[in-house]
């Protein structure tokens, strides 16, 4: 007889396999097994396979055929921010563009003012609340970008909050996004801000272990391709891994830049062109696509199908932030992945688990349900896998298991 700490029984298991991002046809290859058993010891998966009468658990959960997938990975969020931007909603509805609002001193710059003003404790409390919502929706790991401080102290404040909340219970990977916008006080001398980022702030962020990745908002009117390249080079020299917001709004060879810089991921890509897609496929850069942002900005959708067909590994994330996506709901992004990108449920599952994990350098330990991986699982409130993608607008999780610990177990119909 074998006894596990936790035994998940009678699961309809659906998971990608492996420890590397899946591209092209492989993105849709998921492993499915009805009546599966998952044995968990401490924080790790120890057994995955068919039912075995000799296997028991100190705690046992009978899923009664419910779908079980890996915990969701939200690999692009702007999680820590002061205030909201509802005061700009009216302008947006009247047709003022995202970049025009930013140019007028609103948008990101408005959130920077609110974030600088907010105390550590206020921001921490708000972030805890978001984490609870996201965890309930099945997110067991997420990436959090700074970018609303735009000076050393306030960027650090954001990064320290997510570092403090890391593992409570969601695992958090920090990304430094000091190049999210040029702060108000440097608008007359943007070069001075970029110098400060490259020569002082980025090396300090790395030296203090505050972030693993560096990102840049490469876009017309924000940071040019040349400026972005300089920032990414400084980050690489400092020893940070690279990400880039590229081709989100107007586009302009951002995907090519991300590929050239060997970024781990290129994010948004709504306006990426054919050459950009080809460059990503060649460099193995993961495309992190953000369909909720497309919905909210009404700017069209990234060409996910073409990317997959060209051999680019596609991940999907929420982009949760107070401007372009005031929703922390990764499940909605999954629905849109099917409805707007025309990706299959299998491809979308891979996009929010294994490929998302790879886009934050975690594919070796999360993103699939296999022995040796961390025991992060979602038990869904359905017996049929496609149901998760077909139904939308409400939380469909039944339970979340994080590092072998069971949180909440409810069954609806
Ligand atoms: O990914 N584009 C840059 N950053 C966010 C928006 C941030 C904001 O508007 O506050 C995005 O869309
Ligand atoms: Fe973003």
Q: Find the mean pLDDT for residues 202-206.
A: 98
Q: Quote the DSSP letter at residue 393.
A: S
Q: Find the mean pLDDT for residues 163-186.
A: 98
Share of the chain above pLDDT 70, in %: 99
Task: Name the closest-CA residue to atom 5, ligand 1.
Answer: 324
Phi, psi values for residue 182, rounded to 5°: -85, 125
Distance, in Å, from the CA atom of 328 to the CA atom of 133, rounded to the nearest integer, reads: 8
> Does the structure show a pLDDT above 70 at 234?
yes
Q: How many whole angstroms from 182 Cα to the centroid of ligand 1?
A: 13
CB atoms inside a 10 Å sphere around CB 382 = 20
Predicted pLDDT at 409: 65
Share of the chain above pLDDT 90, in %: 98
> Does the structure show a pLDDT above 80 at 246?
yes
Ligand 1 atom closest to the CA of 177, numbered from 1: 4
For 343, residues 6+ apart whose C-beta sits below 8 A from its C-beta are 304, 305, 308, 314, 337, 351
Task: Name the closest-CA residue to atom 12, ligand 1.
Answer: 324
Predicted pLDDT at 209: 98
Predicted pLDDT at 268: 98
Distance, in Å, from the CA atom of 129 to the CA atom of 136, rounded to the nearest integer, reads: 11
Q: How far is CA 186 from the centre of its chain?
A: 30
Which helix (H) or strand (E) segment holds residue 160: the answer is: helix 152-165
Residue among 109, 112, 321 whose CB has most ligand 1 atoms within 8 A, to mutate: 321
Question: ω into residue 169 within 30 of 0, thus cis?
Answer: yes
Ligand 1: does its nearest atom lie under 6 Å from the Cβ of 398? Answer: no
Q: How many whole angstroms from 362 Cα to the centroid of ligand 2?
A: 20
Cα dist from 268 to 193, 230, 255, whole Å = 24, 20, 10
Q: How many whole angstroms from 42 Cα to the centroid of ligand 2?
A: 35
Predicted pLDDT at 412: 55
Determine contact, residues 209/240, Cβ cutoff 8 Å: no
For 242, residues 6+ apart whose C-beta sits below 8 A from its C-beta are 213, 214, 215, 232, 235, 236, 258, 261, 262, 263, 264
57-91 residue pLDDT tens: 999 999 999 999 999 999 999 999 999 999 999 99
Residue among 112, 180, 326 whose CB has most ligand 1 atoms within 8 A, to mutate: 180
H-type alpha helices, 50-119: 89-93, 98-103, 108-117
Q: Which ligand is nearest to the CA of 246?
A: 1
212-231 residue pLDDT tens: 999 999 999 999 999 999 99
Q: Find the mean pLDDT for residues 17-39.
A: 98
Name which of 2, 4, 9, 5 is nearest 409 in CA terms: 9
Q: Find the mean pLDDT for residues 34-43.
A: 98
Name which of 385, 402, 391 is nearest 170 in CA terms: 402
256-306 residue pLDDT tens: 999 999 999 999 999 999 999 999 999 999 999 999 999 999 989 999 999
Query: Residues 342, 343, 349, 352: is their CA dihedral positive or negative?
Result: negative
Ligand 1: does its nearest atom lie under 6 Å from the Cβ of 107? Answer: yes
Q: DSSP letters along 128-146, please?
A: HHHHHHHHHTTEEEEEEE-
Which helix (H) or strand (E) segment holds residue 387: the answer is: helix 387-390
> Does the structure show a pLDDT above 80 at 410?
no
Distance, in Å, from the CA atom of 178 to the CA atom of 306, rounded to the nearest integer, reads: 32
Q: DSSP letters along 42-62, please?
A: TTEEEEEEE--TTEEEEEEEE
Q: Find the mean pLDDT for residues 110-121.
A: 98
H-type alpha helices, 183-329: 190-196, 202-207, 225-238, 254-260, 274-283, 291-297, 304-310
Q: With left for phi above 0 and alpha for psi between -120 and 50, is residue 90 left, alpha or beta?
A: alpha
* Residue corresponding to tokens 């993105």: 27
Predicted pLDDT at 413: 47
Q: How many whole angstroms from 340 Cα to the centroid of ligand 1?
A: 20
Q: Find the mean pLDDT for residues 305-314.
A: 98
Predicted pLDDT at 299: 87
Q: What are the counts of helices (DSSP H) followed by strands (DSSP E) for the chain?
A: 16, 16
Ligand 1: does its nearest atom lie under 6 Å from the Cβ of 77? Answer: no
Q: Find the mean pLDDT for residues 16-21.
A: 98
Q: What is the mean pLDDT of the chain?
A: 97
Q: DSSP letters along 310-376, please?
A: HT--EEE-----SSS-----HHHHHHHHHHTT---HHHHHHHTTHHHHHHTT-TTTSSS--TTSB--
Predicted pLDDT at 74: 99
Distance, in Å, from the CA atom of 316 to the CA atom of 352, rounded to the nearest integer, reads: 6
Ligand 1 atom closest to the CA of 108, numbered from 1: 10
Q: How many whole angstroms from 84 Cα to the centroid of ligand 1?
A: 13
Predicted pLDDT at 401: 98
Determine contact, residues 2/39, Cβ cutoff 8 Å: yes
């Amino acid at each position: 007889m074998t006894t596990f700490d936790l035994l998940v029984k009678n699961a309809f298991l659906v998971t990608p396999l492996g420890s590397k991002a899946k591209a092209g046809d492989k993105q849709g290859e998921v492993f499915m097994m009805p009546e599966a058993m998952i044995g968990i010891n401490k924080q790790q998966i120890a057994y995955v396979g068919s039912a075995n009468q000799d296997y028991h658990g100190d705690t046992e959960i009978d899923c009664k055929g419910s779908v079980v997938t890996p915990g969701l990975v939200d690999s692009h969020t702007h999680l820590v921010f002061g205030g909201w931007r509802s005061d700009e909603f009216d302008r947006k509805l009247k047709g003022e563009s995202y970049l025009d609002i930013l140019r007028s001193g609103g948008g990101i710059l408005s959130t920077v003012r609110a974030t600088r003003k907010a105390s550590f404790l206020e921001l921490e409390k708000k972030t805890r609340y978001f984490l609870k919502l996201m965890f309930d929706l099945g997110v067991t790991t997420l990436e959090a970008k700074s970018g609303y401080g735009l000076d050393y102290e306030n960027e650090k404040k954001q990064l320290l909050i997510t570092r403090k909340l890391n593992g409570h219970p969601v695992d958090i990977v920090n990304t430094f996004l000091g190049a999210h916008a040029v702060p108000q006080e440097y608008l007359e001398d943007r070069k001075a801000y970029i110098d400060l980022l490259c020569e002082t702030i980025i090396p300090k962020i790395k030296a203090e272990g505050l972030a693993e990745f560096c990102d840049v908002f490469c876009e017309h009117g924000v940071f040019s391709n040349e400026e972005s390249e300089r920032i990414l080079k400084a980050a690489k020299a400092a020893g940070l891994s690279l990400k880039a917001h590229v081709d989100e709004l107007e586009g302009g060879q951002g995907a090519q830049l991300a590929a050239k810089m060997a970024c781990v991921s290129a994010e948004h890509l709504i306006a990426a062109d054919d050459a950009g897609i080809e460059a990503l496929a060649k460099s193995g850069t993961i495309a992190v696509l953000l369909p909720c942002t497309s919905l909210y900005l009404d700017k069209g959708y990234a060409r996910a199908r073409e990317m997959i067909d060209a051999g680019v590994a596609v991940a999907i994330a929420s982009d949760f932030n107070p401007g372009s996506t005031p929703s922390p709901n990764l499940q909605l992004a999954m629905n849109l992945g099917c409805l707007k990108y025309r990706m299959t449920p299998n491809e979308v599952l891979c996009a929010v688990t294994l490929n998302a994990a790879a886009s934050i350098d975690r594919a070796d330990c999360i993103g699939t349900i296999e022995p040796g991986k961390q025991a992060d699982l979602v038990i869904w409130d359905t017996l049929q896998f496609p149901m998760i993608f077909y139904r939308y607008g409400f939380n469909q999780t039944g339970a979340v298991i994080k590092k072998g610990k069971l949180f909440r177990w409810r069954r609806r119909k």
